[in-house]
Structure 1
Amino acid sequence: MITTANRLQVVEEYYFSSKLREVRQLAADGKPIINMGIGSPDLKPAPAVMEAVLAAMQDENAHQYQSYQGLPELRKGMADFYQANYGVAVDPNTEILPLMGSKEGIMHISLAFLNKGDQVLIPNPGYPTYSSVTKLVEAVPVYYDLKAETNWEPDFEALEKLDLSKVKLMWLGYPHMPTGARGSLALFKKLIAFAKKHNLLLVNDNPYSFVLNDNPMSLLQVEGAKEVAMELNSLSKTFNMAGWRVGMVLGNAACIDAVLKVKSNMDSGMFYGIQKGATAALNSDKSWFEDMNKVYRRRRVLTEKLAEKLGCEVYKEGVGLFVWAKLPAGVDSAEDFINTILHEKYIFIAPGTIFGSNGEGYIRFALCVKEEKIEEAISRF
């Protein structure tokens, strides 16, 4: 057998990739599975978005290779969206790069800026892809703690005690995944100052701004942020377009150029129709977010009821697409807890441990399940 690359020895298959096979098999065996584990929106995009895609199919150049930098109107739509919703001005020609989902941006940024042996500050708990991509590019993860007692925000005193001489990049994401902690502009200002002091690239992963959050924020709102920071964003959760794979990275022109060098060697441009649909989504008015959040608000109330029925303590301050909850007293293992529920009640919930060691003792519910299904889950207990 041909041996695989050494880099595969430092990562495992993505948790949801492997666990969902088990969940799908239970469903195939006739079990009445309710999947509350993964944040894949079940709501539809706006009708105008789908109409834009259908209309685009007839355009003369719709089915050809597209620009690596995306359509000019898509970049302008992204720039206008940031100006209207965050008060952030960006040049659509030089400071925005559309992506096939923000997840690919994590890899592109890592390839563009990290050398073998460079260190990367990664939140614990946090999105598992930060760690796996860091290892795949042969950089070194250095985990920084986020804990309930500090409202899931970094402890800057602890950060300053670390040897930061080899740190090149720092990942963060607010609203935070998996906890839903909001963050604040005051926190962002401290993070920008920290990045400038230690000459590192700060990257904020920002896909949950508009879900159950009355104060959307961007790291780029901080004066001088573009000197040391980039931001990833996505249409997946904001506009119910997870399967469309549309995201963006924003930053200064030099940083965007560096990412483009990587991206242009890894794909041949985003499908034209999807870009047209994404442009239409970005032009949605405030009523879109209000209507979407009415649905998520009702789901959150029911999901909190389910969590409390399990004896869990809910993190009530959380926003975004998930409910973060502490396990009942006396329960030691999140994975044992969720496996028992999966195989006895046929409800899939994500264990906090997949997001890092500080996720031990917690579980995460996704709000991507219809109200009647959440009520059914409650009735199973």
Structure 2
Amino acid sequence: MKGFSNRLIHIEEYYFSKKLKEVRQLISEGKPVINMGIGSPDLPPHLSVIQALQETASDSLAHGYQGYQGIPELRKAFADFYQKHYEVDLKPDSEILPLMGSKEGIIHISMAFLNAGDEVFIPNPGYPTYASAAQLVEAKAVFYDLDKANDWQPNFAALEKNDLSKVKLMWVNYPHMPTGARASQGLFEKIIQFGKKHDILIIHDNPYSFILEDKPSSILSINGAKEIAIELNSLSKTANMAGWRVGALVGKAELVDAVLKVKSNMDSGMFLGIQKGAIAALSLGQDWYASLNETYAKRRNLVWEIADLLDLEVEKDAVGMFVWAKIKNDKTDIDFVDELLDQHHLFITPGSIFGSQGKGYVRFSLCISEEKIKEVINRIK
């Protein structure tokens, strides 16, 4: 064997992949570990979603290859969803590309638009896969800092000081992961203006817009946004379908078609039963989101209690399915997390895995039952 690809030199195993091996080992040894690190919804999808899958699975025509763009009914369902919740008009035939989860869209977008040596603006802190995808296509990740003092928003004056000639893409993500910061319409307008001014394609990753948020928003609602922005969305969080792997890329037809050229060489279509389930999920009413958020709000209140017990500072105006908390003492976030795992058999996420701006912070997931969270409280007490 003559070795591995050079593109793997700077790519490390995903933190959770490594850390969860340790967690599983502790559990196998009989340790009662409670995992509050992963944002995988523990609640089931709506019954109608499961029924749609079950009914389609018995259809003899459901088991063949499916189209790369998904069935027309699914694209129409995404278009209706965007119109209803975001007031964004999309053409089902050309401006919507269903994906097997939005995570695959990150690498597809990188492959469709980036050449070796191109530069990509990536939020710090932010989702680690943005940088990994850039590195896999031999582009250069250029991190832009977000901080609490600026409400975890880009500092456009600082960005303007960079040499922007090679910057081709800019990743943005609101509600922001991991901090839970919201984006106002004014912020979206600034992002679009920045992209147009410097001819930088804006990619908005939007999977958390319904979680503990009463006014879901899309960057495509900004006038003229389609000319310079595309958006990823997902049913993983909004419909409790993380394992189903359903998302979508939406935006200008020319941009979506470029990603389709990559995607059509990477898979052979989504199982029809999952597409039918997604259609059911996209048609859910406001009562679904209200019920979901009532559950998350109760859990969040309990996590705030944990934060108080651990002398952590939280931002209570944040949204999304995580609680972002600042460590007040001099411990590093890695040491803090390891101590919790050792002393209380509690696993949470160190903020530094999301970038240097996450140092000194930790992240709690709300994807765990109230009973388990109360158990954590009792352990710490």
- TM-score grouping bracket, smaller chain normalisation: over 0.9
Q: Deviations over 1:182-215 (max 9, x none)?
A: 1111000000000000001000000000000011
Aligned residue identity for 1:13: E
Structure 2 residue 195 is matched with structure 1 residue 184: no
CA distance in 2, matches of 1:2, 1:354: 32
- The residue correspondences of 1:69-148 to structure 2 (distance < 5 A) are 69-148=69-148
Q: CA RMSD of the aligned region, Å? A: 0.7
Structure 2 residue 3 is matched with structure 1 residue 3: yes
**Identity score, percent:** 61
Q: Which residue of 2 aligns with 1:156?
A: 156
Aligned residue identity for 2:348: I
Q: Which residue of 2 aligns with 1:354?
A: 353
Q: What is the CA distance between 1:263 and its match in structure 2?
A: 0.1
- The residue correspondences of 1:270-281 to structure 2 (distance < 5 A) are 270-281=270-281
Structure 2 residue 226 is matched with structure 1 residue 238: no
CA distance in 2, matches of 1:20, 1:30: 15
CA distance in 2, matches of 1:369, 1:183: 26
TM-score (norm 1): 0.99
Aligned residue identity for 1:353: S
SS in 1 for 2:363: strand
Aligned residue identity for 1:190: K
Alpha carbons 1:175, 1:319 under 8 Å: kept? yes
Aligned residue identity for 1:335: I
Q: Which residue of 2 aligns with 1:42?
A: 42
Alpha carbons 1:120, 1:168 under 8 Å: kept? yes
CA distance in 1, matches of 2:207, 2:273: 22
The list of structure 1 runs, each at least 4 consecutive aligned residues, that deviate by more than 6 angstroms after superposition, is none
CA distance in 1, matches of 2:298, 2:31: 26
- The residue correspondences of 1:297-312 to structure 2 (distance < 5 A) are 297-312=297-312
Q: Which residue of 2 aligns with 1:199?
A: 199
CA distance in 2, matches of 1:101, 1:29: 34
Structure 2 residue 364 is matched with structure 1 residue 369: no
Alpha carbons 1:121, 1:167 under 8 Å: kept? yes
Q: Deviations over 1:62-94 (max 9, x none)?
A: 000000000110000000000000000000100
Q: What is the CA distance between 1:240 and its match in structure 2?
A: 0.2
Q: Which residue of 1 aligns with 2:342?
A: 343
Q: Which residue of 2 aligns with 1:227?
A: 227
SS in 1 for 2:213: coil
Aligned residue identity for 2:274: I
Runs (5+) with no aligned partner, structure 2: none
CA distance in 2, matches of 1:241, 1:251: 23
Runs (5+) with no aligned partner, structure 1: none
Aligned residue identity for 1:34: I
SS in 2 for 1:10: coil
Q: Deviations over 1:1-29 (max 9, x none)?
A: 44111111111001111111111111111
CA distance in 1, matches of 2:180, 2:108: 26
Alpha carbons 1:310, 1:328 under 8 Å: kept? no
Q: Which residue of 1 aligns with 2:257?
A: 257
CA distance in 2, matches of 1:343, 1:323: 21
CA distance in 2, matches of 1:5, 1:30: 40
CA distance in 1, matches of 2:31, 2:278: 37
TM-score (norm 2): 0.99
Q: Which residue of 2 aligns with 1:334?
A: 333
| Count of aligned pairs | 380
Aligned residue identity for 2:369: K
CA distance in 1, matches of 2:32, 2:130: 33
Aligned residue identity for 2:337: I
